[in-house]
Amino acid sequence: MKTLEELMALRDAAKAKMTARDDSTAVTRVVVGMATCGIAAGARPVMNRFTEEIEKRGLTNVTVAQTGCIGMCQYEPIVEVTEPGKEKVTYVLMNPEKATKVVVDHLVNGNPVIDYTVGAIKK
């Protein structure tokens, strides 16, 4: 069974990884809407997928955070991606599969997935 002693070893490993990081790289923020509307629409599996994929691909310059309701509940789960120096991209009606595609196309390769954005939905 997992114990707190194990956490100490894990801490040391994480610490070594953190110092290896280049602090000068600007950070990309992934923000998931987690109010009642978002949670009920399935925001938690979406957020989990982002965290998993980002770790799996070793994207150390990306952070995942959560926010409340932004007023477009019918389009939840909503995810906003903000890259330094670029305009915010708002993804709507997200699911774990779409999250993986956003990580690969947008976060890794720098091409936003236009089909999933709020702009594509409202047309």
Can residue 20 be called a binding residue for other proteins (CB under 8 A)? no
Contacts of 17 (CB under 8 A, 6+ apart): 60
Can residue 94 be called a binding residue for other proteins (CB under 8 A)? no
DSSP class of residue 109 equals: T
One-letter amino acid of 93: L
Pairwise CA distance, residues 13 & 22, whole Å: 17
Nearer to other proteins, 78 or 112 (CB): 78
Residues 50-89 that bind other proteins (CB under 8 A): 51-52, 54-55, 63-66, 68-71, 73
Give Cα separations from 84 to 60, 64, 67 (angstroms): 15, 15, 19
Q: Is the separation of the CB atoms in 81 and 109 below 8 Å?
A: no
Nearer to other proteins, 70 or 93 (CB): 70
* Least distance CB 2 / other proteins (angstroms): 4
Q: Is the separation of the CB atoms in 25 and 7 below 8 Å?
A: no
Considering only 25, 27, 40, 88, the residue that binds other proteins (CB under 8 A) is 40
Which residues of this protein are in contact with other proteins, per CB under 8 A? 1-2, 4, 6-8, 10-11, 13-15, 18, 34-37, 39-40, 44, 47-48, 51-52, 54-55, 63-66, 68-71, 73
